[in-house]
A and B are shown apart, each in its own frame.
Chain A
Amino acid sequence: MNRSSRIIAVAFLSALLLSSGLSAQEQALWGELEPGPYPIGFETIEKYDYTRTFRSGKDYFGNPTDDQTARQIQICIWYPAAEPQSMTEMVYAEYAFPFPDDPDFIGLLSGLQTRELQFMLPIMGNDRAAVQNAMDFRLRAVRGAGHQEGTFPVIIYHPDAGSGYAENVVMCEFLASHGFIVATSPALGAATLAVAGLHDLEACARDREFVAGQLRDYPNADGDRVGLLGHGAGGITALVHQMRNAGVDAVATIQGAYLSPELAEVTFENPFFRPTSMGVPMLQIFADLEGAITLDVFDSLRYCDRLSVSLSGVEPSELLVYGHMSAALVDTAGTGQDATGHEAACRYVANFFKAHLVGDSAAQAFLDRTPEENQYAQEFMNLARAAGEDVPPTAGQFLEIIQNYTVEQAMELVEKFDLANPAAPILPEANLNALGYQFLQRGNTDDALPIFKMTVNAYPNSANAHDSYAEACMSNGDNEMALQLYEKALGLLATDSTLTPAFREVLETGIPDRIERLKELISGSQESDTEEEQ
């Protein structure tokens, strides 16, 4: 190095050191994103879910191990902070390994860090030096910063199966800077770090529900305004989380794993995946991998107001922090990735939650605009919107409606949602039958009759449904209708495979007797009528 170049180097150094202490690179992972009005705090809380195990505590041969058997859940929380930013912003390595207060978590977190690094390697061009350098990227959150006054909506982040939540730290920080408390926990399988099957996904979903439960008591958290954000497999668990927790108000996904045909099938197989239970606004953002995407799951969520943002020319990993990371390290990693997709994902997610959890009209306007109006090229971004249909009542809700409102109102819903459609009856026959009898036994045949009628419509091959409806008609004095129904019931007995042998015997002996009785009644009635006429 000659003298002039040395002077330049020293001047460069001095500029770096003087400009911002040691700050050489101002939050490169944030790229063009502008933080919201709040400084960002971060903390972890280590908890044990004693209702579940993780390791067994014994090896294959039954010998005890040092493993912690209770399920360890490290809750990581970003929040709007009160203190001005200082020199203590976190670096990426602190997210890849969030040092716990409880040293017993270190073993688990070490394994998660290794998994995170393995996940990053191929994204970073298999350059371990690039991955190591990435660990020193500075972000914006300050660990342990004071809390901002006020209450803030909660967003639970569901990370992908194979990576930690570090994949989306800028997103989490970004949301916190805009006034949300964001909480998550690393993806863990049911008994190992691997998340490979339905039971592992269920473990992840329960972990996030555990996190959401813990957040109810968190300072400044408004537990009545809750959103979910999921990435990859976390997109599936976020949907399930909402479907069984009515308190969730909005759901967003980034490259939800349900977009792949194989995992769409897995999603539909999940017993907790019930589109009829989800009627909240939904946003999905994904890299449009032509030919490898199915929208079957998304389309099945027809009761949600949906906004689908598809991006062209980007890789799925570019929707995450890796987009910025690779872009910043392109000199060494040479992956050629860029950060446009990541920034778009952050902006749309933040505006989505601001619109639906805060009621921010400017955010809603952002969502309503075309991509071009939001400065995104048409060839890069495509938006699709679908208004959610009204949500049909669940079986339980329907029964509650009958009991707590009027049968007339319930019957309006039957008609509106075609609840009695024989092709897909929504209400169990036994429940409907029992409810009908409740009214009948109280002498309220007016309310019992439509319920039995609906049951017959929903289950046209059921001998018992016809028998019950017939009994109600008979009680109401409509003997001719009752006779028709009993005769239909008798005819169905031979083919109705749902009956137990004992009950079949009851019907086989009872129905003919009633038919006989009704015929007599009808005949007597006709004779009486004739006499009166004469």
Chain B
Amino acid sequence: MEAKKTDLTRRKFIASSLGCLATAGLAGAPAGLTLAQDNDQSGTTVEKEIIYRTLGKTGLKMPVVSMGVGPCNDPRVVQACYEIGMRHFETAAGYAFGRNEQILAGGLHKLGVRDKVFITTKTLDAGQRRGLTTGEQYSKRLIETFEGSLRRLRTDYVDILLIHGVGDADTVANEAIINTLLELKKAGKTRSIGISTHGNMAAVINEAVRVGSYDVIQTSFNFTLADDTELLTAIENAASKGIGIIAMKTQAGGANFPNPDTLRQYDSVTVNSAALKWVLRNESVTTSVPAIPDYEIMRAAFAMARDLEYTEAEKNFLSDNSIKLSMGFCRQCRGCLATCPHNADVPTLMRTHMYATQYGSLQFARSALDEIETGRGLQVCTNCTECSARCSNSVDIPRKIEDLKLIYS
């Protein structure tokens, strides 16, 4: 019997969520951008320069495409990412219980390029914050977890230290966290500090700007959010204040498209490149951290670092308003919370679904489930016969909940 062959490109690459594209977003290339490949006057093909941008007031200058190390399990892929031109690598203490940081360190250590790259790690995620009440507890836990990260990363410092997955203004303004981060920065253990957010993003970003202590914000940002003017404004405002913006979840999901029928008319390369270009054409964004598990996705993603010009196919795709309805990307707006009588944490469950079914990462999915407070997780849904939760942005919540119940039954 012959083994089933898989379509790696379609299966793996930062699968795009597709969605509506603000008309303005299609209007021409941003200033300073040129085509990735062009013919010079002699007709010879010339490779374009890698596009670098500076991460706000940190002064860190990096290519617009960075490595999201999260799903990578092979240090040789990390080395390849460096060799292809990537200089910024993003991981987290909570990824694979620290293994991901070790994978990153393993790749960079052999190259001996610590001084030539920028490392971002994220710490104190929702699970690690749970149960902490006093400032001392926050500080102690933050230092402990960051200390572990430095050990695993085999380095004395990171370039960017982010509080992982902040979804509320209170955490952004937590003085114990801020003071600890500033102390770490002062001690030279990190060159810059910030937060990452994938829920309630506009409010979180605005609060971070108000607090004024943060250098960097890493936020979910993709073309399905093109009509979220509040988020677009918040990002633009933060960038204007010198806060470096890193975009994540740029492909609005992951490997598998939720509705392949709708997407059949578009090839996967177009879908993915269009999604990433849409993010990077926003000049408030310094760099992106698409998840890169292997060489194929690395090459596909880094091609965007040289060329942000849309092709005709990409324009057609981004202009197709039917796509957004089929994508079902949850923007974590929390509007659905009021529609669940059992107070389930639907936004986090939707993110869990994305990790499990689109990223294909049960590990990420498990981590997301762990963030949920006791009594608001999937067990609530298991005891519920008919899901009444609804989304104003066309996310099919009942279907996704059923998927999760099946996966975690």
Residue in B3, B105, B130 whose beta carbon sits within 8 Å of that of A99 in the complex: B105
Residues of B within 8 A of A63 (CB): 1-3
Q: What are the interface flags for A80-115 relative to B under an 8 Å C-beta threshold, 1 for contact and 0 otherwise?
A: 000000001111011011010001001100100100
Residues of A within 8 A of B370 (CB): 128-129, 132
Q: Which residues of A contact B146 (CB under 8 A)?
A: 22
Instruction: For chain A, give the interface size range.
Output: 35 or more
Closest B residue to A333 by beta carbon equals B131
Closest to B173 in A: A1
* Interface set, chain B 327-353, CB cutoff 8 A to A: none
B394 interface contact, C-beta 8 A? no
The answer to the question of A131 belonging to the interface, with a C-beta cut-off of 8 Å to chain B, is yes
Task: Find B99's partner among A59, A62, A93 (CB 8 Å cutoff).
Answer: A93
A133 partner, pick from B2, B141, B187, beta carbons under 8 A: B141
- In the complex, chain B residues whose CB is within 8 Å of the CB of A133: 128, 141, 144-145
Chain B at the A interface: mostly helix, strand, loop or mixed?
helix
The reply to whether the CB of A521 lies closer than 8 angstroms to some CB of chain B is no
Whether, in the assembled complex, B148 has its beta carbon less than 8 Å from a beta carbon of chain A, the answer is: yes
Nearest-CB distance from A118 to chain B (Å)? Answer: 11
Encoded as 1 (CB less than 8 Å from any B CB) or 0, chain A from 107 to 148 comes to: 100100100010000000000110111011010000000000
Whether, in the assembled complex, B147 has its beta carbon less than 8 Å from a beta carbon of chain A, the answer is yes
Number of residue pairs spanning A and B whose beta carbons lie under 8 angstroms apart: 134
B30 at the interface (CB under 8 A from A): no
Name the interface size band of chain B: 35 or more
| Distance in angstroms between the alpha carbons of A16 and B137 in the assembled complex | 12
Contact A17 B96 (CB under 8 A): no
In chain B between 87 and 114, which residues have their CB closer than 8 angstroms to a CB of chain A?
93-94, 96-99, 102-103, 105-106
Cα separation A89 to B105 with both chains bound (whole Å):
16
Are B151 and A25 in touch, CB under 8 angstroms? no
Complex Cα gap A103–B176 (Å): 40
Given contacts A9-B175, A88-B151, A93-B99, contact A25 B3 (CB under 8 A): no
A91-B98 in contact given A14-B183, A63-B2 (Cβ < 8 Å):
yes
How far, in whole Å, are A16 and B127 apart by their CA atoms in the complex? 23
Interface flag for B85 (CB, 8 Å)? no
Q: Could you mark each residue 20-63 of chain A with 1 if its beta carbon is under 8 Å from any beta carbon of chain B, else 0?
A: 00111100000000000000000000000000000000010111
One of B2, B73, B180 near A110 (C-beta < 8 A): B73
Closest-by-CB residue of B relative to A10 is B179
CB of A5 within 8 Å of the partner chain: yes
Cα distance, A128 to B126, chains bound together (Å):
11
A421 to B98, CA, bound (A): 61
Give 1 or 0 for each of B160-187: 1 = CB within 8 Å of chain A CB: 0000000000000001100110011001
B105 neighbours in A (Cβ, 8 Å): 99
Q: Which residue of A lies closest to B147 (CB)?
A: A22
B200 at the A interface (CB under 8 A): no
Q: Are B148 and A1 in contact (CB under 8 A)?
A: no
| A6: Cβ under 8 A from any B Cβ | yes
Query: Which A residues are CB-close (under 8 A) to B19?
Result: none
Chain A residues whose CB sits within 8 angstroms of the CB of B152 once the complex forms:
91, 93-94
B147 in contact with A23 (CB, 8 Å): yes
Check A417 for interface membership: any CB of B closer than 8 A: no
Distance (whole angstroms) from the CB of A310 to the closest CB of chain B? 34
Which residue, of A23, A96, A132, has the highest number of chain B Cβ atoms within 10 A?
Answer: A132
B74, B105, B106, B131 interface centre (most CB from chain A within 10 Å)? B131
Contact digits for B4-32, partner A, Cβ 8 Å, 1 yes 0 no? 00000000000000000000000000000
Instruction: Output the least CB separation between B187 and chain A (Å).
Output: 6
Q: Distance (Å) between the CB of B56 and the closest chain A CB?
A: 25
B148 close to A113 (CB less than 8 A): no
Chain B residues contacting A117 (CB-CB under 8 Å) are 97
Q: Does A13 contact B (CB under 8 A)?
A: yes
Contacts of B3 in A (CB 8 A): 59, 61, 63
Residue B390 at the A interface, CB < 8 A?
A: no
Interface check B80, CB cutoff 8 A: no
CB-nearest residue of chain B to A16 = B143
A138 contacts across to B, CB distance below 8 A = 147-148, 151
Segment 491-509 of A: residues with Cβ below 8 Å from B: none
* A492–B73 CA distance with the chains assembled, in angstroms: 72
A94 to chain B, nearest CB (A): 6
Chain A CB count within 10 A is highest, among B99, B106, B179, for B99
Are A97 and B148 in contact, CB atoms less than 8 angstroms apart?
no
Find A1's partner among B1, B131, B175 (CB 8 Å cutoff).
B175
- Of B94, B105, B143, most buried by chain A (CB within 10 Å of CB) is B143
User: B175 to A6, Cβ gap below 8 A?
Assistant: yes
**What's the least CB distance linking B259 to chain A, in Å?**
31
Distance of B373 from chain A, by nearest CB (Å): 11
Contacts of A25 in B (CB 8 A): 140, 144
A63-B1, A132-B97 known; A332 vs B175 contact (CB < 8 Å): no
Additional A-B contact list (20), CB under 8 Å, known A22-B150, A107-B73, A110-B99: A1-B135, A12-B135, A13-B179, A16-B139, A22-B143, A22-B189, A24-B140, A24-B143, A24-B144, A61-B1, A94-B152, A96-B97, A97-B97, A103-B76, A106-B75, A113-B96, A113-B97, A133-B128, A133-B144, A138-B151
Q: List 17 A-B contacts (CB under 8 A).
A: A6-B135, A6-B179, A9-B135, A10-B179, A10-B183, A13-B139, A22-B146, A22-B147, A22-B184, A24-B140, A25-B144, A62-B1, A63-B1, A96-B99, A97-B102, A103-B76, A133-B145
Lowest 10 CB-CB distances: which A-B pairs, in order?
Answer: A93-B98, A136-B148, A129-B127, A9-B135, A61-B1, A63-B3, A99-B102, A91-B148, A24-B143, A22-B147
Chain B residues in the interface with A (C-beta under 8 A): 1-3, 73-76, 93-94, 96-99, 102-103, 105-106, 127-128, 130-131, 135-136, 139-141, 143-148, 150-152, 175-176, 179-180, 183-184, 187, 189, 366, 370
